[in-house]
Amino acid sequence: MKKEKENRIEMDRRGFLKAAAISSMAFCMSPSLEKVKAAGSAVGIQPYLANRSVPPSMAAVRCQRTLGSGKAAFTVSAIGYGCMGLNHNRSWHPDRKAEIALVREAVERGITLFDTAESYGYHVNEKLVGEALKGYTDRVFVSSKFGHKFVNGVQVKTEEDSTPANIRRVCENSLRNLGVETLGVFYQHRIDPNTPIEVVAETVGELIKEGKILHWGMCEVNAETIRRAHGVCPVTAIQSEYHFMHRAVEENGVLAVCEELGIVFVPYSPLNRGFLGGMINEYTKFNPDNDNRQTLPRFQPDAIRANTRIVEVLNAFGRTRGLTPAQIALAWLMNKKPFIEPIPGTTKLSHLEENLRATDVVFTDDEVKELEKIISSIPVTGNRYDALQESKVQNMATMPMFSTKNLLAHVNIRWYSLME
């Protein structure tokens, strides 16, 4: 008990060290109070950096990326903010006031893409993000997700639900929770094996026409599914796990099809749930009530001990360049392809600043090859998910196409191009 308490104190120390400073910053901010007309107004954010008062020496995002292509395109900061960990599955976190101040500070530092979901505490995360971004929504895009099945607010983890009725229900809830009139991006969180992707694409296409969402995307899907969905309603973004310890999208055709079709790729967990930041070791204790890492094979003590070799490589590489492991991991992603947009999350101002500085890092081709050669020689120990989630992701990677008979039996698809 004493050792566990010491670990808890250590995590609290790292997590709350900046809380007082963050709270005081909230009083210095002067957010725009304009009412949201539509998330699309954010496309024209110019100049960049959005907040000119940020001094050159301060960590901030000073470059943009265009996500998607053609009429499905929009421009955002070169790095986004994954909001899940503000309340969900990431151990102890600051109080609500400090977290709201941190999100607002991220806006002031130039971040214009914020990622949340219905399932991150079942509406809790969306409401938190909505409160934090109140008064800022003319300057940012907010993405959310649909597709998980809930009964009385409890997720049914063995099933998914991307029926048109549920997509619309989640959309309305997300708009209300976030306090916006239009969602920047609306992702399908996981494939629903009982609902053809064409039906999903047609439904979100209708929501786009109705002005309730601007763009749409999918999470953890294979290349064939992307093509099929894109043929019905142009896809703007694909979100899947991608980092030094999980590079499957390089081999399974997902990155290639994104590049071919002009779709942005958004890596979630770009620091492998914090591991590549170098702050987790085999003695780390996770909050048993709010941290899924304690159940993941890759975060068991033996696996952490073995995989620490990868962090050691990043430390050695960064030592002569003045970079932290987290900055190297994020910069590697942004240097790989111009259409890659990582969305690291944090509850700490110090880590936010660390992440922001990664946007200034440029690697040579030789540096990228050096990093990849060394790290690829180190085997990764442990699966990224527990057995249930791992099987669902693997099934998505090999999911067969619906037959024409099944498609027509499900719904009468109207094939059309929304963007013509």
Point out the residues that are catalytic. Answer: 120
CA dihedral of residues 319, 323, 329, 333 (deg, nearest 10): -120
The residue ranges of DSSP E strands in 94-167, in sequence order, are: 113-115, 141-146, 148-151, 154-160
The two three-digit tokens of residue 115, written as one number:
């990622």
In 3D space, the residue among 345, 324, 392 whose CA is nearest the CA of residue 91 turns out to be 345
DSSP codes, 183-205: EEEEEE-S--TTS-HHHHHHHHH
In 3D space, the residue among 251, 258, 247 whose CA is nearest the CA of residue 225 turns out to be 258
The H-or-E segment that residue 177 falls in is helix 164-178
Alpha carbons 22 and 268: distance in angstroms, whole number = 25
In 3D space, the residue among 362, 319, 367, 366 whose CA is nearest the CA of residue 338 turns out to be 362
The two three-digit tokens of residue 191, written as one number:
């494939």
The H-or-E segment that residue 168 falls in is helix 164-178
Contact present, 276 and 329 (Cβ < 8 Å):
yes
Alpha carbons 231 and 153: distance in angstroms, whole number = 34
Paired residues of 196 in beta bridges: none
Alpha carbons 23 and 101: distance in angstroms, whole number = 6
Backbone φ and ψ for 176, nearest 5 degrees, come out as -70, -45
DSSP codes, 83-114: -GGGTSSSS----HHHHHHHHHHHHHTT--EE
Looking at residue 295, its amino acid is: T
Estimate to the nearest angstrom the gap between the alpha carbon of 313 and the chain centroid: 25
